[in-house]
Structure 1
Amino acid sequence: MVDAPVAVDSLVTISDSAAKKIRELLQEEGNPNYALRLQVVGGGCAGFQYRLAFDDEFAEDDELLDYEGFKVVVDPMSARYVEGATIDYVESEMASGFKIENPNVVTTCGCGHSHSF
């Protein structure tokens, strides 16, 4: 189950727990120009996987989404695949990390790290 959304954009929704973790990580990085880049890249057994990384270099055609206390940047190719997705941050005894719930995913590989659209 995804945590309640704190930041909603027409492209991507960020849950409260994900927003808190993003702000925490940005503060640790110490670069006020950083945005969280969300990318869909080729790879994995199902064809595509997500990449999250901090970036301070943006292309003219990137979508820059403003959230409370941080920005998310998405390139045009990735934007087609992530529209309507929700980024959450989950913690359990076994692991913790960002989880992306995406209504555009058709299939997911067995390990859950690769998707097809």
Structure 2
Amino acid sequence: MKHIINNHIKLTKNAIKKIKHLTLTKTNKHLKLRIYILGGGCSGFQYQFVLDDKINQDDILINEGDVSLIVDPISLQYLNGGKIDYIENFEGSKFIVYNPNAKNTCGCGSSFNI
């Protein structure tokens, strides 16, 4: 596992606040947010988020503010230079990925292609 001071993926203040809220538990102090890329979705690749307390040997731990984001090396190559935000509105709440590597995205913003 590599610890990185973030220069690969930026987190907005809203994203940091939500990640802190999601991972701050008394029962599991090692919980972190993981982002990864899956094949599928309407545009080819899909963003996935999961709370995880396991860090694999080749994972990269990106630190920003006082939160950490776990990313595997393959997903990082697709997310490099991107920004993650968190929004709450009348449609619901979700993490949004602004990805400069994506050539096209679907209307809902949860999938992309390169």
Range class of TM-score, shorter chain: 0.7 to 0.9
Tell me the C-alpha RMSD between the 2 structures: 1.7
| Partner amino acid, structure 2, of 1:41 | L
Match of 2:107 among 81, 106, 110: 110
Q: Percent identity?
A: 38
Correspondence 1:50-69 to 2 at 5 A: 50-69=47-66
Task: Tell me: CA distance 1:75–1:34, structure 2 relative to 1, closer, same or farther (3 Å).
Answer: same
Distance 1:99 1:10 in 2: 18
Q: Does 1:95 find its partner at 2:102?
A: no
Q: Which runs of 5+ in 2 are unaligned?
A: none
Distance 1:99 1:29 in 2: 27
Instruction: Report the equivalent of 1:71.
Output: 68
Question: Which stretches of structure 1, 4 residues or more, deviate above 4 A after TM superposition?
Answer: none
Q: Which runs of 5+ in 1 are unaligned?
A: 1-7
Tell me the TM-score normalized by structure 2: 0.87
Task: Tell me: CA distance 1:57–1:38, structure 2 relative to 1, closer, same or farther (3 Å).
Answer: same
Task: Tell me: CA distance 1:111–1:16, structure 2 relative to 1, closer, same or farther (3 Å).
Answer: closer
Instruction: Report the equivalent of 1:47.
Output: 44
Q: Which has the higher contact order (CA 8 A, sep 6+)?
A: 2
